[in-house]
Amino acid sequence: MKNSKKFTNAIVRVPASNMIEGITTSLEGQPDHDLALLQHQSYVEALKRCGLDVAILDPLEDYPDSVFVEDVAICTSKCAVITNPGADSRNAETAFIEPALSAAFSNIEHIKEPGTLDGGDIMMVGDHFFIGLSARTNRAGAEELIRILSTYGYSVSIIEIEGLLHLKTGIAYLEDNIMLMHENLADHPEFASYTKIIVPPEEEYAANAIRVNDFVLFPSGYPVTAEKLRRTGLKLIELPMSEFRKLDGGLSCLSLRW
Ligand code: GLY
């Protein structure tokens, strides 16, 4: 594979013991914290296998969704952006990520009111960023991020989404011009030039995967999509995600990567 971004670092946060109080629309039942801890350890091991240096932050017991660190910041090769999460119960999580990012980034920017923005709505494709407008990310937040990213020389497109928690609930950029996506995003003109791998409706959760250097981290239990990815030559590390799925969370949500 060529033309892939090289990642060296990740930040994760251990699941809080009150994660059963996290926001969810899932009908799959309450997460089991012990099993979530095991699944989280497997995720960390997978990131290390991909060559990343992984910083593991302590659980935040006041924030049941805080394991989903992706939503509180955006990491680029030139700056980190602290977001302003759109869910009230998650908004203050940002204060607990900034110290960890300050050690790694000399340029730290912030999304401010009236803008709201979740990192799960931001998809990086080389020097271009797609911003999903969702129930969490409003237009003011998107415009603020455009202003910030433009000053660093990045380009941006806005994607209006429906029926998804976040943009990356329905689409993942797997490098090498490959986009994994839900069928209803396939005709979007912004994605016309990419090689598209469509996730079948019965495997929709599998659209949230992440390319990390030589591997794609992929949720276990989605064989049709897994086979499609393998046929393109991608190497998968399949990971159990059942307990995070119960909180509407996917593989990308569990880390910040740069
Ligand atoms: N449960 C993850 C979120 O709603 O942000």
Nearest by Cα to 118 from 258, 242, 253? 253
Average pLDDT (162-191) is 97
pLDDT in tens, 214-244: 999 999 999 999 999 999 999 999 999 999 9
Query: 3-state DSSP call for residue 79?
Result: coil
Q: How far is the CA of 199 from the centre of ligand 1 (A)?
A: 22
Task: Quote the pTM value.
Answer: 0.97
pLDDT in tens, 16-29: 999 999 999 999 99
Active site residue 75: no
Is the pLDDT at 2 greater than 60? The verdict is: no
Query: 3-state DSSP call for residue 161?
Result: coil
Ligand 1 pocket residues where CB is under 6 Å: 22-24, 65, 68, 71, 87, 90, 247-249
Nearest CA to ligand 1 atom 3: 23
- Cβ contacts of residue 45 below 8 Å, gap of 6+? none
Domains parsed from the chain with CATH numbers: 9-167+240-257 (3.75.10.10)
User: For ligand 1, what atom is nearest to the CA of residue 248?
Assistant: 1
Active site residue 110: no
| Per-residue three-class SS string for 128-153 | EEEEEECCCCCHHHHHHHHHHHHHCC
Q: Please state, in angstroms and rounded to a whole number, the distance separating the CA atoms of residues 70 and 83.
A: 10
pLDDT in tens, 184-212: 999 999 999 999 999 999 999 999 999 99
